Amino acid sequence: MNNQKTTREMIKEFLSGKYYAKDTGTQCDAGWYDWFCKDTHLAGKTEKLYNKLLQIIPTYKFDIDKTYVFFKNNCPMNGSLYDDFRICDLKTREVIYTITPASGHTSLKGLAYIWGKENEFEKPLLQGKWQDIIKYFREI
């Protein structure tokens, strides 16, 4: 991740169709960092997660020219696989936000949530429906 592209560049490449190929190299270039699902499932997840990312932009909470995004597919001990994406500072590489469109944890099944640097990731900044996440990032 030394030559990491900005969130803006990654979105531009997604919209151009660059990340539609199903090979693992393309999907890693799209932003996948860690996954438990089959490699062949990544391309479909990439499309869904980029579409979620596009729904929260524009936002004043992070600068798409000073951040990058990466994707994780998580395997909770109690629940089903689920995806999240992380917005990171381009210079420090620190995660600013972890955004989960739908949790796979049995106790949180289907809930969307945001964890963030604003409270040092001590508890979710917001937990609810995906529409609540959009509103959080779109609020002025």
Buried (b) or exposed (e) across 56-74, using 16+ Cβ within 10 A?
Answer: beebebbebeebbbbbbbb
User: What residue spans define the domains of the chain?
Assistant: 7-138
pLDDT for res 108 = 85
What tokens appear for 121 in the block?
């990731």
Q: Residues 64-121: pLDDT tens digits?
A: 999 999 999 999 989 999 999 999 999 999 999 999 999 999 888 889 999 999 999 9
Q: What pLDDT is attached to residue 2?
A: 47
Per-position DSSP letters for 66-128, written without gaps between them: SEEEEEEEE--SSB--EEEEEEEETTT--EEEEEESS--BGGGTT-EEEEEGGGTTSS-SEEE
- Give the model's pLDDT for residue 38: 94
Q: Tokens in use for 76?
A: 């909770």
pLDDT digits (tens, 9 = 90+) for 8-55: 999 999 999 999 999 999 999 999 999 999 999 999 999 999 999 999
